[in-house]
Structure 1
């Protein structure tokens, strides 16, 4: 009898443990299937650049409209943002379209492919070749032998400048490159330690506007032939102009080309979260219009300008609701 009672007690304990284990397992599954994103970090660039300004604007929208804690991160720019996304250190980032395509393919600045998805179009980043008003530099070829700011390490600007130099018959060996951020470039112009800068950024660029307050500048135009070497060979480059109204130093539009900037994200972020972020940004124009003039480019019509990068399913869901089909693979 005692043996029978002991066996019954053991059996009850086994069943109880199994039941508790099943409950715990169910709780874990439920928890994993309902992931709650508590923070969205957005990689920008240096604080004086448009990348960071827009990233901060997005974070403000996400905080106010969705109640999700969001912060803009100071980074080196496009390349670093993509690498941080690949390392799961930030959820989203601002990057050039060509850099995003390189990341997916694992080429140029990337040793292996980086998994990422597009969220929304931002604006065309305009190539601007800047020097001071009294400089003898008047054409791209005049940069040879000069001290030129080419962008900080990890930036899309530096990556693009390598392409620009090589495409137009120069290389880093033909100039004296200075690897400077926007703020450092402004200071370098003022203390006379650089002769020019090649940047691709929104116009007007805050750091150039700041430089104009003490030093009149001029912009070196590119010829139709020079522009064609980019737009005909690379699908992500488009013809553009620096509008004469962008800077007080300009009397005429300056012909150049541009590369589209896009907001990208980790591919495995929850669909609902990315949908909500996409919706909030597109519908948060009252906040973004005062952040920077380039916010005017964040339109549904410009979604078509983001190609060669799959869209996140959450973003695709929002676009589908507005009659726009985008690739997710």
Structure 2
């Protein structure tokens, strides 16, 4: 009788453990405002997880809009979100506790899953207020209204980083803080004279501007010297060419700056869940490619490119399984 009772108890423990392992897990993926690239790609990632993982693995991911990268770090720190799309510059500052994160300190809860796509800077300016067609023309906007991006967004942080490096005193602009869509509306309505829509190509808000403003809008070029200056020695920025025809009326190629953004996750998430998410992403890239063109940049070969902080062990497990070498700087302690 004692043996049988023990066996039953053991079976119950196993059953309980199995049930716990299969308990539903719901995660929030925070993105940015709806006019850029973060939101539609975040929705695509969440939809992919629902299709591939919700029934079989009981993993559900929901995407939400936000102000952008800086707020995403905060939401993840407070566990209001467990995953987030973050641009590399903001993530580096967060990990080190610098600049916009100086008061809250290093954000060591962050881990990387994968590089996603390049954010391409679209410095849009009214043509009547340009002279050289390069970033030098930003100084012609002193005293005029300029949209820095939404408050607490990665775009705001980006602009506040690169403008001083370029010798552009953004405090001399008449600053407004709007997301991508509202900035496009304001430009087309004559309420602002410039903005930087930094996102994966094509950017809906830039299409909106060129479709309505036409030749009254121009994309500023970034020269080799300007790229070196705006990078500030970080090595995070590189040149990217926006091809003619990408936007209505864009008749020539425009060389601008770009940088990587990536999918981050809280370090507390189970290794196997992050492994399954990483695996699902790379086994279903065509699904993502069909939803947003920017994801066509994604590949296993560049999965770790531009990731500025350690990978989550679940992502590391998948990459090693695929035969990739993990750089020492990306291995979590």
Aligned structure 1 segments of 4 or more residues deviating by more than 3 angstroms:
29-37, 132-138
Report the equivalent of 1:280. Answer: 280
Report the equivalent of 2:36. Answer: 49
Once residues 32 and 86 of structure 1 are traced to their aligned partners in structure 2, the CA distance between those partners, rounded to angstroms, is 29
Contact persistence 1:162–1:171 (CA under 8 A): no
Report the equivalent of 1:199. Answer: 197
1:69 to 53, 60, 63: 60
Q: How many residues align?
A: 307
Contact persistence 1:81–1:95 (CA under 8 A): yes
Once residues 140 and 188 of structure 1 are traced to their aligned partners in structure 2, the CA distance between those partners, rounded to angstroms, is 18
Once residues 232 and 169 of structure 2 are traced to their aligned partners in structure 1, the CA distance between those partners, rounded to angstroms, is 21
Pair 1:127-2:131 in alignment: no
Contact persistence 1:53–1:292 (CA under 8 A): yes
Partner SS for 2:294:
helix
For normalisation by structure 2, the TM-score amounts to: 0.85
Query: Pairwise mapping of residues 134-149 of structure 1 onto structure 2 (< 5 A)?
Result: 134-136=128-130, 138=133, 139-149=137-147
- Judged with a 3 Å threshold, the aligned counterparts in structure 2 of structure 1 residues 78 and 232 are, in CA distance, closer, same or farther, namely closer
- Judged with a 3 Å threshold, the aligned counterparts in structure 2 of structure 1 residues 36 and 314 are, in CA distance, closer, same or farther, namely farther
Unpaired runs of 5+ residues, structure 2, are 1-5
Once residues 283 and 315 of structure 1 are traced to their aligned partners in structure 2, the CA distance between those partners, rounded to angstroms, is 14
Pair 1:223-2:223 in alignment: yes
- Judged with a 3 Å threshold, the aligned counterparts in structure 2 of structure 1 residues 253 and 153 are, in CA distance, closer, same or farther, namely same
Unpaired runs of 5+ residues, structure 1, are 1-18
2:105 to 89, 112, 116: 112
Report the equivalent of 2:3. Answer: none
Once residues 53 and 169 of structure 1 are traced to their aligned partners in structure 2, the CA distance between those partners, rounded to angstroms, is 34
Contact persistence 1:274–1:315 (CA under 8 A): yes
1:294 Cα shift? 0.6
1:81 to 68, 72, 91: 72
Pair 1:302-2:302 in alignment: yes
Once residues 129 and 291 of structure 2 are traced to their aligned partners in structure 1, the CA distance between those partners, rounded to angstroms, is 33
Report the equivalent of 1:247. Answer: 247
Report the equivalent of 1:261. Answer: 261
Contact persistence 1:140–1:222 (CA under 8 A): no
1:170 Cα shift? 1.8
- Judged with a 3 Å threshold, the aligned counterparts in structure 2 of structure 1 residues 213 and 307 are, in CA distance, closer, same or farther, namely closer
- Judged with a 3 Å threshold, the aligned counterparts in structure 2 of structure 1 residues 133 and 172 are, in CA distance, closer, same or farther, namely closer
Deviations 1:67-106 (A, max 9, x none): 1322111100001111111111111000101111111111
Report the equivalent of 2:331. Answer: 328
Moved more, 127-136 or 291-300: 127-136
1:215 Cα shift? 1.6
1:281 Cα shift? 1.1
Deviations 1:151-183 (A, max 9, x none): 001110000100121011122312111111011
Greater C-alpha radius of gyration: 1
Partner SS for 2:225:
helix
- Judged with a 3 Å threshold, the aligned counterparts in structure 2 of structure 1 residues 59 and 309 are, in CA distance, closer, same or farther, namely same
Report the equivalent of 1:8. Answer: none
Instruction: Give the RMSD, CA atoms, in angstroms.
Output: 2.4
Once residues 36 and 106 of structure 1 are traced to their aligned partners in structure 2, the CA distance between those partners, rounded to angstroms, is 35
Contact persistence 1:243–1:253 (CA under 8 A): yes
Contact persistence 1:37–1:273 (CA under 8 A): no
For normalisation by structure 1, the TM-score amounts to: 0.86
1:42 Cα shift? 0.6
Once residues 268 and 234 of structure 1 are traced to their aligned partners in structure 2, the CA distance between those partners, rounded to angstroms, is 29
Once residues 154 and 19 of structure 2 are traced to their aligned partners in structure 1, the CA distance between those partners, rounded to angstroms, is 36
Contact persistence 2:114–2:307 (CA under 8 A): no
